[in-house]
Amino acid sequence: MRQWISSRTKLLRSIGAAFLLLCAAPMAAFAQSADANFFKGKTVRLVVGFSAGGGFDLYARMIAPYIGRALGANVVVENQPGAGGITATNRMMTAPPDGLQIMLVNGLAAAFGQFTEQQGVRYDLGKLEHLGTVSGNPWVWLVTANAPWKNVQDVVNDKRRYMWSAGGPIDGLSDGAAFTCEALQLDCNIVLGYPGSNDSALSVAKGEMDMMYIVDTSAANYVTGGQIRVLATMGRTRSHIFPDAPTIFEAAKLSDEAAALLDFHSTAEKLGRILVAPPGTPPERLLALRAAIKVALTDPALIAEGDKSQRNIEFYSAEDTLKAAIGVVSDPTPEQKQRMIAILARIEKK
């Protein structure tokens, strides 16, 4: 137990310290950069490792025009679904390092996939070129609207086998479900194979699956239709989008061990949606990309658009993002790493 608390404390310090730093890419450098003009009139591909219509896709399509204006380029979104984002992230490791391809990555899932040595993972978050964090929101537990469980305790008491929908072996949806099931000692079948959160949500809405674990901004798209509802927010702070949904710590009686597990996962979730480029991208082009992304993600018009559509923007610099990612990948002890691998072994293929 002490080991988990120690790891959680270290992780909180790592992420907290990283996120308090100011962005290190000054706008003056952007204006003076020899490669700032390189992007003028060119096409930059913004890769998303999930299918169209899901949360990451919607975020990418929202921010792409703003990044394009800041670069003077045409930024187009390209969906490359597969293995919960792993396939596209692997491709980014070997993509041409010319600055014309960037990716919106699920930072939590990518970090978990790497430090647990998930099968198929060939990327390294420490080697990808970081461009910044777009947002880091709390995640929520969704159930079918007509489900018999009114609260978390009902789920714990029911003692049935629960079907959770997910995409890849580590995609936020699947690992979040695995940690929840471990902490609450639930009998779960975490089903993979859905190409994006939109498809996963549809399976819950139809009653094919019982439950889903997803970031609150994406959940808003599905809950509005009335076919899915929020059971709990999976952290210690309530979601501002779903203020009436209790936190898991309010909704369930948790052992110290269970609380530590959920704390670790919810803290790692702060990595959120991160932007990366291929390793070896020329430094001057990286400077131009980072500066343009800061301009785009701090644009009041984009922030207002995000608030209106419940896809909030919370920018953190490339330096902050890298430090946070390395903290999640490096902090767990070998014993904790093995424990997490055992937890994630709950996940089964569709």
Where in the chain are the domains?
2-136+269-337, 139-255+342-348
CATH superfamily of this structure's domain 2-136+269-337? Bordetella uptake gene, domain 1 (3.40.190.150)
SS3 string, the chain, reads CHHHHHHHHHHHHHHHHHHHCCCCCCHHHHHHCCCHHHHCCCEEEEEECCCCCCHHHHHHHHHHHHHHHHHCCEEEEEECCCHHHHHHHHHHHHCCCCCCEEEEEEHHHHHHHHHCCCCCCCCCCCCCEEEEEEECCCEEEEEECCCCCCCHHHHHHHCCEEEEECCCCCCCHHHHHHHHHHHHCCEEEEECCCCCHHHHHHHHHCCCCCEEEEEHHHHHHHHCCCCEEEEEECCCCCCCCCCCCCEHHHHCCCCHHHHHHHHHHHHHHHHCEEEEECCCCCHHHHHHHHHHHHHHHCCHHHHHHHHHCCCCCCCECHHHHHHHHHHHHHCCCHHHHHHHHHHHCCEECC
Over its length of 350 residues, how does the chain's per-residue pLDDT go in tens digits? 444 434 444 444 444 444 334 344 444 444 445 466 999 999 999 999 999 998 899 999 999 999 999 999 999 999 999 988 999 999 999 999 999 999 999 998 899 889 888 889 999 999 999 999 999 889 999 999 999 999 999 999 998 999 999 988 888 899 999 999 999 999 999 999 998 888 999 999 999 999 999 999 889 888 988 999 999 999 999 999 999 999 999 999 999 999 989 988 887 888 889 999 999 999 999 999 999 999 999 999 999 999 998 899 999 999 999 988 887 888 778 888 888 888 887 776 44
Q: What pLDDT sits at residue 275?
A: 98
Sign of CA dihedral 20, 8, 155, 204: positive
Sequence letter at residue 305? E
Question: What is the rounded CA–CA span in Å between residue 102 and residue 145?
Answer: 37
CATH architecture of 139-255+342-348: 3-Layer(aba) Sandwich (3.40)
Which residues are 222's β-sheet partners? none
Comparing 2-136+269-337 with 139-255+342-348, is the CATH topology the same? yes
Q: What pLDDT sits at residue 36?
A: 67
| Global model pTM greater than 0.85 | no
Which residues are 213's β-sheet partners? 141
